[in-house]
Structure 1
Amino acid sequence: MAFASINSSGAPIAAIEEAFATEPSLKKRVYDAIGTTPQHTPLFEDIAKYTSSLLARTANTTLPSRPPADGPAVKKRKLQNGESGETAQASVDLKDANAPVQFYVKDVSFATPQRKKLTLEITAGHQYLRARNQATKEIEFGVSMDKIKHALCLPVPEKTQKQFNFCIIPEYADGITPPPEGTTTSEAMVFTIADGPAKAAFSGDGQQINQAPGETADVLLCKILNENMRRCNVVRPDDKQFVSAMPEAHRKGEKAYHVKAFRGSKEGYLFLLSTGILFAFKKPLLFFSFDTIDSVSYTSVLQRTFNLNVMARPTGGSEEDNQEFEFSMIDQADFSGIDTYIKRHGLQDASLADARRAKVYNVNKPTGDEQAATEAADGDESELQKAQRELEDQEEEDEEDYDPGSDDSEGSGSSSDEDDDDDEEEEEAHGSDEDMEGTEELGEAATAAE
């Protein structure tokens, strides 16, 4: 029959394959009908093409999404599509389980926004990156491809088996810039891809993806994401940007691109990348792109550790909107590499900013003409020269205020062989008996006085 000839020839009908890619049972029924009544083949092709056009058209509509016919209503989740007031239920293609799929990977371990294994999908027409529940077949969450602002592929630290974490950061989900009032935003997505061939990666028609020789799953996914994203490309660590002074402890001989740090009591990892600084992998994810970093400074610099402070300004915000993020307990071995990275990218070092300097107390503060002269001199002095001058002035004042006669300790009033006649007369007037061991003249004068 016609259906048998279609399968044996290996040339299925393209329109039907595209329209019913995610519904294999329905697709089989269509082919069965064609096999029974081959004269209706053009009719089924037209129906399939019309179905595909409807699915593509609804990607930009604002109709409420319909729940699956054989399952419960889809749980509402806040998702950002970039337009004011748009919500998850307003995007039919995102939540429509029947929407055509271009690419998918099974059994992907997600850490954010949910911690579970899901199927990662990219819908046809470069529309959405989303996650499907493998048991219920419902769409759990997703993000519009044109709203992905940063995409990162990073080696997972401290794992015996090599793995890669993909961090998908939509607009307003970097932890720095809040969404405008009246809009909602999707959370950042973090999922793990194991090193090695992509055995669970398939095209929309269910065919396993053909990989180039030696191409690993992470490389394949980076390539596919780059083909579909509109605003950015996937960023990976680069030796020219930063490499930790301490190699990966769990995989000997492998370079480490992360720095262990704490934000409060929460432990995480800092990655210094070509587009900014990431603190991951626990919620909330923080990504400081260069356009949001106002300054960087070091504090609590000790023998073994130091703190890194990042002053960030939301995109389009003012100085009043600045927030400071402190990352503590960073190993001193990485200080040089971090400092080189900061200088290379021209990030302002605010370690010596006025707010961080030690307070100067007005002890022995000069007055009158001295104060005016000091202020005039300050304008031509550097901070280091000013501090040195103030220290010298204070030492001179201490010397001038010193009164040797005020000391009541023993022998404080004794004279030496160099005492002059004025000293001798003063001693005679006070009847001093303490300096009778002077020169011969002093001895004779003492005898005459008796």
Structure 2
Amino acid sequence: MPGEGPAAKRRKLQNGEAAGNVQWPADVGADTPLQFHMQDVSFAVPQRKKLTLEITAGRGYIRSRNQNTKEIEFVVPMDQIQHVLCLPVPERTQRQFNFCIIPRNADGINTPPDGEAAFEAMVCTVADGPPKAAFSGSGQQLGTQDGEMAEKLVRRILNDNLTQTQVVRPDETEFASAVPEAHRKGEKAHHVKAFRGSKEGYLFFLSTGIFFGFKKPLVFFAFENIESTSYTSVLQRTFNLSIAARATGSDEIQEFELSMIDQADFAGIDGYIKGHGLQDASLAEARRAKRYNVNVGKAEKGGDTSAQGAVEEESELQKAHRELEDREEEEEEDYEPDSEGESDGSGSSSEEESQGEDGEGQEDEDEDQDLVAAELGSHTEEINEEEE
């Protein structure tokens, strides 16, 4: 029976760590009626393997089943799912989508209380094409007649069963990268490549928060958990984005630094952060701020309103970026070798320059007088010749 698999195969999180000895709810392993299942689905998290994706009837569970042993590998109750993201897989010639299932206390910021368990996040990949092995609970193959693509089908089934959220996809009005999708010409990219420590991943700026994946550990910064953001290590080609996050109900601040982000995406990321009113913390004063979008230091002195503080905060945000652009413009100025000799007299005062100009004017005037005298002299000689 599927429910009789070894306990070590059953995955949960215990205070943020995988724990194989925590038992599933009693009916998860039972032959619960299925509403939907799709075979040969590639999972990346929590394990990299092909499994059968299942969704049980009655808004029960989403789970994966081993196609050989028929054992359930991992599972999440629908009422425990906090976020579901449908994100295009970057740098693939053929379009694919990663469905990221993020249960409560498994977003990389919030952790379960001591002694309590949380279900582990899932990431599975669905191709952009007709579903080849998708079936309803009755065994009827889906997507063969109505032309519904696999991504849209899975998204619809999830939305019909989710109880706490709906599937979120990237939106161009939220963010689109200035760097086009290299592997699919003419298609806009919604991701930004970044590093967290030595781990390479992708950032997505969504309508509900900021996601970094697709390798473990995944991190999803929901807006309600973001305390502040700041830009650091602003260089000619790259910059870092630091996010200070606070778990729900906690006073402890967690710092996350996403590094080596392409400078081409600075304006888009900055616009996204401002558009959602996320607090900028480029300055130490703003980093210590406890109020949302308020420069606390000046507000406490009574010399600034929150609106004025936000404007000043905005200008400080751009300061490092503007200085970098100014330096680049100076370096790009053309070098004129002929100006070397002229620069030798660059220390002369304006008075000396005016004197030089006066001297040149006097010389021109003397030359004009000599020409007039010469002409008058030649004219006099002609008259004397005629009289003789």
Q: TM > 0.5 between the two? A: yes
In 2, the alpha carbon distance for the partners of 1:192 and 1:90 equals 25
Question: Corresponding residue for 1:281?
Answer: 214
Shift of 1:210: 4.4
Structure 1 portions without partners, runs of 5+ = 1-22, 24-64, 82-86, 358-377, 385-450
Residue 210 to residue 270, structure 1, CA distance change in 2 (3 Å) = closer
In 2, the alpha carbon distance for the partners of 1:90 and 1:186 equals 10
Identity %: 64
Shift of 1:157: 0.3
Shift of 1:78: 4.0
Question: Corresponding residue for 1:234?
Answer: 167
Question: Corresponding residue for 1:260?
Answer: 193
Question: Corresponding residue for 1:112?
Answer: 45
Shift of 1:354: 2.9
Question: Corresponding residue for 2:264?
Answer: 333
In 1, the alpha carbon distance for the partners of 2:75 and 2:154 equals 17
CA RMSD across the alignment: 2.8
Bigger-Rg structure (1/2):
1
Q: Contact 1:106–1:120 (CA<8 Å) still a contact in 2? A: yes
Question: Corresponding residue for 1:91?
Answer: 25
In 2, the alpha carbon distance for the partners of 1:315 and 1:178 equals 9
1:101 pairs, out of 20, 34, 39, with 34
Q: After superposition, what is the alpha-carbon deviation per residue over 1:390-446, rounded to whole angstroms, capped at 9, x for unaligned?
A: xxxxxxxxxxxxxxxxxxxxxxxxxxxxxxxxxxxxxxxxxxxxxxxxxxxxxxxxx
Question: Corresponding residue for 1:197?
Answer: 130
Q: Contact 1:258–1:269 (CA<8 Å) still a contact in 2? A: yes
Amino acid paired to 1:234 = V
2:68 pairs, out of 116, 135, 147, with 135
Match status 1:250 vs 2:177: no
Match status 1:290 vs 2:219: no
2:247 pairs, out of 309, 314, 317, with 314
Shift of 1:143: 0.3
Q: How many residues align?
A: 292
Question: Corresponding residue for 1:225?
Answer: 158
Higher relative contact order (CA 8 A, sep 6+): 2
Q: Contact 1:80–1:143 (CA<8 Å) still a contact in 2? A: no
Q: After superposition, what is the alpha-carbon deviation per residue over 1:201-253, rounded to whole angstroms, capped at 9, x for unaligned?
A: 10112110246744210011000000001000000000110000011001111
Residue 226 to residue 88, structure 1, CA distance change in 2 (3 Å) = farther
Amino acid paired to 1:231 = Q
Shift of 1:185: 1.2
Match status 1:167 vs 2:104: no
Residue 324 to residue 208, structure 1, CA distance change in 2 (3 Å) = same
Q: Contact 1:76–1:89 (CA<8 Å) still a contact in 2? A: no
In 2, the alpha carbon distance for the partners of 1:135 and 1:216 equals 27
Q: Contact 1:74–1:138 (CA<8 Å) still a contact in 2? A: no
2:275 pairs, out of 325, 344, 349, with 344
In 2, the alpha carbon distance for the partners of 1:66 and 1:193 equals 26
Q: Contact 1:76–1:88 (CA<8 Å) still a contact in 2? A: no
What secondary structure is seen at the aligned counterpart in 2 of 1:245? coil
Shift of 1:316: 1.1
Structure 2 portions without partners, runs of 5+ = 15-20, 289-300, 313-388
Moved more, 346-355 or 306-315: 346-355
TM-score, normalization by structure 2: 0.70
Shift of 1:90: 4.4
Amino acid paired to 2:277 = G
Q: Contact 2:11–2:73 (CA<8 Å) still a contact in 1? A: no
Shift of 1:66: 5.5
Residue 356 to residue 172, structure 1, CA distance change in 2 (3 Å) = closer
Residue 105 to residue 379, structure 1, CA distance change in 2 (3 Å) = closer
Match status 1:323 vs 2:257: no
What secondary structure is seen at the aligned counterpart in 2 of 1:93? coil
Q: After superposition, what is the alpha-carbon deviation per residue over 1:25-81, rounded to whole angstroms, capped at 9, x for unaligned?
A: xxxxxxxxxxxxxxxxxxxxxxxxxxxxxxxxxxxxxxxx962xxxx6453534379
1:148 pairs, out of 71, 81, 88, with 81
Q: Contact 1:271–1:279 (CA<8 Å) still a contact in 2? A: yes
Q: Contact 2:12–2:118 (CA<8 Å) still a contact in 1? A: yes
TM-score, normalization by structure 1: 0.61
In 2, the alpha carbon distance for the partners of 1:106 and 1:167 equals 18
In 2, the alpha carbon distance for the partners of 1:218 and 1:125 equals 22
